[in-house]
Amino acid sequence: MRLCILFLALVSGSLLSLTPPAQAAKRSRGAHKAADSGYGEIPAFNWNLAANGYVELFKLHNTEIESAEPNRFFPATVAFALGRIDEGGHFLMLKCSSPVNCGAQRDTLEDRIVYATLLAVVRTKAPKARLFNQRTWELTGLGEKYMEILRKRYPDLPARLGRLVGASLR
C-alpha cells in the first residue's frame, strides 16, 4: 500500500514539475508576438469596447463636420456630412472652388476622420494630440506609425472600419 502511495506521489510530482516550463514557453511566444505587433506603443485592447466607442465618437465627428467652418480641412473647400453612405461608398461631400482635386480631397478627408476616430478610441502611450491634428484630423508621423501597427495587428482592419462606419451612419 505504501509503495502504491509513494508511486502516485512521485508520478503526480513529476507531472506538476513539467507544467511550468510548458506555461513559460507559451508566455514567451505570446510576449514575442506582442512585441512584434507594437504592444509597447498600443497595448492590447478589447475590440468590442473600442468599436462601441468608435461608433459614438464617429457620430460626434460627423456632426462636427456639419458645423465646420469653410476652409477648415482644405483651402477653398466646405465639407458636408451626408448622414449615410451613398452609392459611390462615400459618407462626405466636399464643395470645392476648384473641382480638379475635389474628389481626392474628399477621399483624404474621409480617411482622416476614420483613422483619427480609431486612434482616439484606442489606448496608446502617446497623447492623442501627438497622433493627429485635433482641428483637421490629419495624422502625424507617429499617428501613421500607429496605424501601421494596427494594420499589422488586424489584417482585416479596413473591413472592420467599414462596418463601424456603416453602423455609425444607421
pLDDT digits (tens, 9 = 90+) for 72-116: 998 888 999 998 988 888 999 889 887 778 888 999 999 999 999
**The pLDDT of residue 17 is above 70:** no
Mean pLDDT rounded to a whole number for the chain? 81
| Higher pLDDT among residues 12 and 95, named by residue | 95
Own/partner long-range contacts of 125-128 (Cβ < 8 Å, ≥24 apart): 125/40, 125/41, 125/42, 125/43, 126/41
Check pLDDT > 80 for residue 8: no
User: At 13, is the pLDDT very low, low, confident or very high (cuts 50, 70, 90)?
Assistant: low
Q: How confident is the model at residue 5 (pLDDT cuts 50, 70, 90)?
A: low
- pLDDT greater than 60 at residue 149: yes
SS3 41: coil
- Whether 69 shows a pLDDT value over 70: the answer reads yes
What is the percentage of the chain residues whose pLDDT exceeds 90? 41
Question: 14 near 21, Cβ under 8 Å?
Answer: no
Concatenated DSSP letters of 6-29: HHHHHHHHHHHHHHHHHHHHHHHH
pLDDT at site 34: 47
Q: State the Cα–Cα distance between residues 50 and 120, nearest whole angstrom.
A: 10
Assigned C-alpha cell, 99? 473641382
Average pLDDT (136-165) is 92
pLDDT band of residue 38 (cuts 50, 70, 90) is: low
Decide: pTM greater than 0.85. Answer: no
